[in-house]
């Protein structure tokens, strides 16, 4: 893999300044070494091996932001372990919509993306349009070889193609941990900021998410129990606190109307009778068909029946429809901002 080097804007200075730059580099390397050995604040800590990776990423990204001296590579934590990569890899290919949202918010150029995506917040509007490199399920190897990417970022849906993609370019599996979606997505945003020399901007974006979480939690406190259901055509499934929608319970502290929901990727199949019996105070709804662009009755029409009408949620108009992003780009920056705003507004309007 070719190695990119970040160069300072001072790199064209006269040769008599080179001793000074050498001295600065020596000091900086020592500083990075000390930083990598220091312990992060315990409130933000991950597992031990991730701490080391993150310290390395922080030090390198700060150098890039400060435009001081060059740093060749950075170590990024992934599902498959740490990966060393050139800072600001380009060309860049991304197959995961969660990562696309974060990179769009960071204004990072992406050279290749899948086609047929149903969200409009996956690409920075200030950057050139990316080329098609297949779908979120199947890569176009010919298109990838034509781009010759320096890095390929994948998650959930494309993770099973890791080996094939790794044969073309360094591939990072940055799948979000749905059982711990807040900490996992926070870590991913941090890592992307470090990798692309935008740690300060990543911190600001995380601050936006955290601020909205705090505002929403004030409103959700002691307002009743909630249940998350997905409507897929005329089928229903319920999701618990370890699912991609678990943040409603684990982050916003809304108690579960049913704490015995089986942990399954596609949720626990349920019926209208189940909704009536569980009787949630708040119903959080994901319309899968609408999210993936399928025709058919919408979630609201499917749920509009006598059994659901008997629930507290329906009778009090406390039904919250989550964004398509919650299904397609869960843990992404724009998903957080959209769904937190929707939930906050719904609870603010509750009587």
- pLDDT exceeds 60 at position 33: no
Task: Give me the residue label for tokens 């399928």.
Answer: 294
What is the structure's pLDDT at 22? Answer: 39
Mean pLDDT of 244-254: 96
Q: Quick one: pLDDT band at residue 71, thresholds 50, 70, 90? A: low
Is the model more confident about 293 or about 210? 210
Share of the chain above pLDDT 70, in %: 79
- pLDDT exceeds 80 at position 15: no
What is the structure's pLDDT at 264? Answer: 82
What is the structure's pLDDT at 277? Answer: 98
Q: Pick the closest to residue 299 from 310, 318, 313, 285 (CA basis).
A: 285
What is the structure's pLDDT at 57? Answer: 47
- pLDDT exceeds 90 at position 103: yes
Q: Quick one: pLDDT band at residue 266, thresholds 50, 70, 90? A: confident
* Interhelix angle 333-348/199-220, nearest 10 degrees: 20
- pLDDT exceeds 70 at position 20: no
Task: Give me the residue label for tokens 């494309």.
Answer: 158
Q: Quick one: pLDDT band at residue 202, thresholds 50, 70, 90? A: very high
Question: The whole model's pTM is what?
Answer: 0.79
Distance, CA of 331 to CA of 188 (rounded, Å): 9
Distance, CA of 165 to CA of 33 (rounded, Å): 33
Distance, CA of 105 to CA of 332 (rounded, Å): 9
SS3 106: coil
What is the structure's pLDDT at 263? Answer: 84
Mean pLDDT of 196-220: 98
Is the model more confident about 236 or about 41? 236
> Mean pLDDT of all residues in the chain?
84
Contact 109, 198 (CB under 8 A): no
* Interhelix angle 97-105/333-348, nearest 10 degrees: 90
Is the model more confident about 292 or about 6? 292
Identify the weakest region by mean pLDDT among 29-38, 120-129, 271-280: 29-38
Both structure tokens of 233: 């055509």
Q: Quick one: pLDDT band at residue 198, thresholds 50, 70, 90? A: very high
What is the structure's pLDDT at 23? Answer: 38
């Amino acid at each position: 893999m070719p190695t990119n080097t970040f160069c300072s804007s001072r790199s064209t200075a006269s040769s008599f300044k080179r001793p000074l730059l050498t001295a600065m580099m020596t000091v900086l390397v020592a500083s990075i070494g000390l930083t990598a050995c220091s312990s992060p604040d315990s409130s933000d800590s991950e597992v031990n091996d991730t701490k080391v990776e993150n310290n390395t990423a922080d030090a390198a990204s700060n150098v890039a932001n400060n435009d001081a001296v060059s740093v060749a590579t950075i170590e990024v934590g992934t599902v498959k372990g740490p990966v060393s990569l050139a800072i600001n890899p380009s060309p860049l290919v991304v197959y995961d919509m969660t990562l696309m949202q974060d990179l769009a918010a960071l204004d990072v150029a992406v050279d290749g993306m899948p086609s047929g995506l149903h969200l409009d917040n996956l690409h920075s509007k200030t950057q050139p349009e990316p080329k098609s490199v297949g779908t979120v399920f199947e890569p176009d190897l010919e298109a990838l070889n034509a781009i010759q990417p320096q890095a390929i970022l994948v998650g959930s849906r494309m993770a099973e193609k890791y080996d094939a993609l790794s044969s073309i370019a360094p591939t990072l599996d940055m799948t979000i941990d749905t059982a711990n979606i807040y900490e996992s997505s926070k870590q991913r945003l941090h890592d992307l900021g470090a990798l692309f020399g935008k740690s300060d901007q990543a911190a600001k974006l995380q601050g936006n998410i955290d601020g909205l979480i705090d505002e929403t939690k004030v409103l959700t406190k002691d307002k009743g129990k909630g249940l998350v259901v997905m409507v897929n055509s005329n089928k229903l499934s319920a999701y618990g606190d370890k699912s991609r929608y678990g943040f409603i319970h684990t982050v916003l502290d809304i108690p579960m109307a049913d704490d015995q929901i089986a942990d399954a990727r596609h949720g626990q199949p349920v019926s209208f009778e189940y909704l009536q019996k569980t009787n949630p105070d708040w119903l959080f709804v994901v319309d899968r068909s609408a999210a993936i662009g399928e025709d058919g009755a919408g979630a609201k029409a499917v749920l509009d029946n006598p059994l659901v009408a008997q629930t507290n949620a329906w009778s009090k108009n406390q039904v919250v429809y989550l964004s398509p992003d919650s299904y397609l780009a869960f843990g992404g920056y724009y998903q957080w901002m959209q769904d937190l705003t929707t939930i906050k507004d719904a609870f603010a309007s509750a009587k």
